[in-house]
Amino acid sequence: MAKRSSLSIRIVEGKNLPAKDITGSSDPYCIVKVDNEPIIRTATVWKTLCPFWGEEYEVHLPPTFHSVAFYVMDEDALSRDDVIGKVCLTRDTLAAHPKGFSGWAHLTEVDPDEEVQGEIHLRLEVVPGTRACRLRCSVLEARDLAPKDRNGASDPFVRVRYNGRTQETSIVKKSCYPRWNETFEFELEEGAAEVLCVEAWDWDLVSRNDFLGKVVVNVQRLWAAQREEGWFRLQPDQSKSRREEGHLGSLQLEVRLRDETVLPSSCYQPLVQLLCREVKPGTQGPGQLISLIEETTSTECRQEVATTLLKLFLGQGLAKDFLDLLFQLELSRTSEANTLFRSNSLASKSMESFLKVAGMRYLHGVLGPIIDRVFEEKKYVELDPSKVEVKDVGCSGLHRPQTEAEVLEQSVQTLCAHLGALLSALSRSVRACPAVVRATFRQLFRRVRERFPSAQDENVPFIAVTSFLCLRFVSPAILAPKLFHLRERHADARTSRTLLLLAKAVQNVGNMDTPASRAKEAWMEPLQPTVRQGVAQLKDFITKLVDIQEKDELDLQRALSLQAPPVKEGPLFIHRTKGKGPLTSSSFKKLHFSLTTEALSFAKTPSSKKSTLIKLANIRAAEKVEEKSFSSSHVMQVIYTDDAGKLQTAYLQCKSVNELNQWLSALRKVCINNTGLLGSYHPGIFRGDKWSCCHQRDKTDLGCNKTRSWVTLQEWNDPLDHDLEAQLIYRHLLGVEAALREKHRQLSTGPEAGRGPTGPGEAPRDPLAELLQVLGDLQEAHRSSPAGSPPS
């Protein structure tokens, strides 16, 4: 059994931000920190005070986290980025909103005295004295203190105050992980102060000392306990009066905290088996559980339920059968072909999730080069005459204004080239498409053709496929490539317009060039010859795509599985320490790395032969490195055992905070079940004769900071977590249990009572009654678990 926490984060937009640049504008982006640890950076939106991001993230983290903060920054090319303001949401605040925090939040000033982080290790005792008892405070060490100096560290010391007396520790230079092991004593008197204050400070020679955080101890409670020792989280100084909120603008956020107690797999087996029995071929019938789940699921949580069900059935090898059942349910209640799969039904939402989970790598291979070309060319493209901007063309001294007709003609040529390249890439990609995706589209094509067999509906099966492939997968990726991980940054205004027009053209092709799609925007007419040609190409592609037999499906699936696609790959800079020499950023070498479920490998180029750097089973930790260690940011360390069983460390540098966290997440997820994972590590490096972080001279010394193996970002290619998916489905069903019971009552007294599907010689089965019994058993299992009561 394990307790897991996750944050669903959507950073929507900002408004009324202050201007930080001399142009009267700003270039805002957001940094998301969990307990002061940067985990996400949004793209920069250039030259605006009302930026729109629309970026979504899922973060898995330990249940002990305290807060999540959103910092709005202004990017500067030549100087340090400016801080505009922040929004901080504590764990308690998020827990008070079971459906999630959603809305606008005012940005507040970033006060240095509130930007504290880390913990301090104290031993507190009440000891007998000659005249009266004495309060003994031992300041042992601290970890993960805020770096306040330009060298990326601090010079910390501790100030202990009680009853008007103040004592201080020595100063530890250039460390965020200091060790003091110093003890102070105070006399305890009747009626004296009730609190002991322990403050951490960064010593500065010239300017005033910087506040690092404090711990306030209740002396009366300590007197009762006599002794207390442990790590205490440093708290900010909130004694200052705050300025009026709102003058820094606002940020629109959607943040939801989910705490789940995941039981052992055996507890979920009855639920999983019951659901699987409902979707296996030959067992479907009227009034089955999947249709009841759809009926009782509200619109706002349908996407979440669809994704969870899809992942659960993917893990059981039944995704195709689950989607096939949903296709049949949708077709059974659809009378008009032009309304097929147009609503946000469970079938539509599940198919969207399926394509993202099973087809994202395929999408990257087909669409990636076209998107890269659009971004690199940055051509001005416009088809709407009312929006055309006429500009000068020609070489120096021979400028002439470009006519509107020339702009439109060049725009048509550019869009036709991009659309043609995309359709050609699609046509060549049949064999590259995952077998399970092809088989699912085959089922969809067949079901629709059976439902609409007339000659006038001959295009309907093709449109059914393209309604998902083009309208809900390819077109959204063209419109927002950042959200589909096709680009690291959002497009500028010019590129966005090109992408929008290209997405419209793809939609027209996907709609099979119907009169209704042509009538929407008459100025798209110049693209019609290419669109008509594209319709023929797309129909030919779909015909080949769905032409896959069961044997071919298994053979293709087996061939693709043998290729062991990488979990993560890309260029990184590597430095492996040897000897005692100084380590500098110039000693990093750029290589192409690939992480699979077996090893972390590298090569000179993506197409070169790979060499294994670290076997996956040997990895013991993947953590960040202090910036001061190499005078470079975004460096991570992979700690592993060599063939002799000795711990070694590989240092790898990424190009951004997002890439760093993505690599750390990927490494942690594939190693989560390794034996011998470390509980602590050194965030610095062993330089000369000591660790740069805590200054300890023993190279084999236990780490001075906790590992963060449970802090990960959810990605589309994450390994499936069967127990978690089953727990999420259980939690949803528990929320609609009353509706399910009412439905069961109606069915039990109606004409269909006792008519559940059966096998030969079996009594009629009541799947809904079985489901309610399973929910009750799981509820009891949660109650009897050490974590306590089941989720509400």
The residue ranges of every structural domain in the chain are 2-110+244-257, 119-233, 355-390+402-561, 566-713, 722-749+766-784
The phi and psi torsions of 546 (rounded to 5 degrees) equal -85, -5
Tell me how many degrees the CA angle 59-61-64 measures, rounded to the nearest 5. 140
Residue reference for tokens 């490195």: 625
More confident residue, 378 or 787: 378
pLDDT of 584 reads: 45
Q: Distance (Å, rounded) from C-alpha 361 to C-alpha 350? A: 18
Residue 75 makes CB contacts below 8 A (sequence gap 6+) with 27, 28, 29, 44, 81
Q: Is 133 exposed, middle or buried (0-12, 13-18, 19+ CB in 10 A)?
A: middle
Residue 586: pLDDT above 80? no
Residue 668 scores a pLDDT above 70: yes
Q: Which residue has the higher pLDDT, 342 or 160?
A: 160
| pLDDT value for 559 | 52
- Give pLDDT tens digits for 703-722: 999 999 888 998 877 778 88
Task: Give CA–CA dist 54/480, Å, rounded.
Answer: 10
Residue of 411, 385, 368, 372 whose CA lies nearest to 498: 411
Closest CA to 670 of 608, 745, 600: 600
The residue among 191 and 176 whose pLDDT is bigger is 176
Local structure of residue 471 (DSSP, 8 states): I
pLDDT digits (tens, 9 = 90+) for 565-583: 678 888 999 985 554 444 4
The total of other beta-carbon atoms located within 10 Å of residue 711's CB is: 20
Instruction: Please give the pLDDT value at position 746.
Output: 84
Please give the biggest Cα pair distance in the chain: 104
Same fold yes or no, 355-390+402-561 and 566-713: no
The DSSP symbol for 231 reads E
pLDDT for residue 533? 92
| d(C-alpha 345, C-alpha 287), whole Å | 17
SS3 633: coil
Q: Please check whether residue 203 is in contact with residue 158, taking contact to mean a CB–CB distance below 8 angstroms.
A: no
With 70 as the cut, is the pLDDT of residue 549 above it?
yes
Q: Write out the DSSP string of 494-514.
A: HHHHHHHHHHHHHHHHHTTT-
Euclidean distance between CA atoms 390 and 760, whole angstroms: 76
Closest CA to 581 of 685, 682, 654: 685
Question: Two tokens at 651?
Answer: 């240092």
**CATH class of residue range 119-233:** mainly beta
CB 151 within 8 A of CB 106: no
For the residues 553-561, what does the mean pLDDT come to? 56
Tell me the C-alpha distance between 697 and 692, whole Å.
10
> What's the pLDDT tens digit per position in 88-142?
999 999 999 988 999 999 999 988 777 889 999 999 998 887 778 888 999 999 9
Residue 151 has φ and ψ, to the nearest 5°, of -80, 5
Q: How far apart are CA 483 and CA 186, in angstroms?
A: 58
Across the chain, mean pLDDT equals: 86
Please report which confidence band the pLDDT of residue 553 belongs to, taking 50, 70 and 90 as the band edges.
Answer: low
Spatial separation of the C-alpha atoms in residues 57 and 205, rounded to whole Å:
42
Round to whole Å and give the CA distance between 704 and 106: 37
Rounded Cα–Cα distance for residues 281 and 321 (Å): 7
Residue 192 above 70 pLDDT? no
DSSP string, 299-336: GGGHHHHHHHHHHHHHHTT-HHHHHHHHHHHHHHT---
Residue 672 in this model has a pLDDT that exceeds 50: yes
Looking at residue 430, its pLDDT comes to 92
Taking a C-beta distance cutoff of 8 angstroms, is the pair 623, 684 a contact?
no
Of 204, 198, 114, which Cα lies nearest the Cα of 153?
204
Contact (Cβ atoms closer than 8 angstroms) between residue 186 and residue 197: no
- The pLDDT score that the predictor gives to residue 764 is 54
**Res. 254: pLDDT tops 70:** yes
Which of 527, 776, 488 has the alpha carbon at shortest distance from 659? Answer: 488
Give bridge partners of residue 82 from the DSSP assignment. 74
Question: What residues contact 192, with CB distance under 8 A and at least 6 apart?
Answer: 162, 163, 219
Q: What is the pLDDT at residue 580?
A: 46
According to CATH, what is the number of the domain 355-390+402-561? 1.10.506.10
- Name the residue with tokens 């105050």: 161
Q: How far apart are CA 245 and CA 782, in angstroms?
A: 43
pLDDT at 747 over 90: no
Cα distance between residue 352 and residue 305, in whole Å: 12
- CA separation for the pair 778, 791 (Å, rounded): 11
pLDDT the model gives residue 288:
73
Supply angle C-alpha 346, 352, 354, rounded to 5.
95
What single string gives the DSSP state of each residue in 144-193? SPPP-STTS---EEEEEEETTEEEE-PPPPS-SS-EEEEEEEEE--TT--
DSSP letter at 104 equals E
The percent of residues in the chain predicted with pLDDT above 70, rounded, is 89
CA–CA distances in Å: residue 84 to residues 21, 49, 74, 100: 12, 11, 7, 25
What is the mean predicted confidence (pLDDT) over 274-295? Answer: 77
Which tokens belong to 259? 């705490």
| Helix (H), strand (E), coil (C) string for 113-130 | HHCCCCEEEEEEEEECCC
- Structure-block tokens of residue 554: 């298994």
Candidates 3.40.640.10, 3.40.50.720, 2.60.120.620, 2.30.29.30; CATH matching 566-713? 2.30.29.30
Q: Tens digit of pLDDT for each residue in 3-61?
A: 889 999 999 999 999 998 888 899 999 999 998 889 999 999 988 999 999 999 999 99
**Topology classification of domain 2-110+244-257:** Immunoglobulin-like (2.60.40)
- What is residue 394's predicted lDDT score, i.e. its pLDDT? 47
Residue 249: left if φ>0, alpha if ψ -120 to 50, beta else—which one?
Answer: left
Instruction: Give dist(CA 343, CA 59) in Å, integer.
Output: 30
> Are 473 and 357 contacting, i.e. CB atoms less than 8 angstroms apart?
no
Find tokens 């659009």 and name the residue.
374
Q: How many residues does the chain have?
A: 792
Quick one: CA dihedral 352, 270, 721, 7, positive or negative? positive
Banded model confidence at residue 792, pLDDT cuts 50, 70, 90: very low
pLDDT at 439 over 60: yes
Full-model pTM? 0.84
DSSP letters of 49-68?
SS-EEEEEEEEEE-TT--EE
pLDDT of residue 119: 94
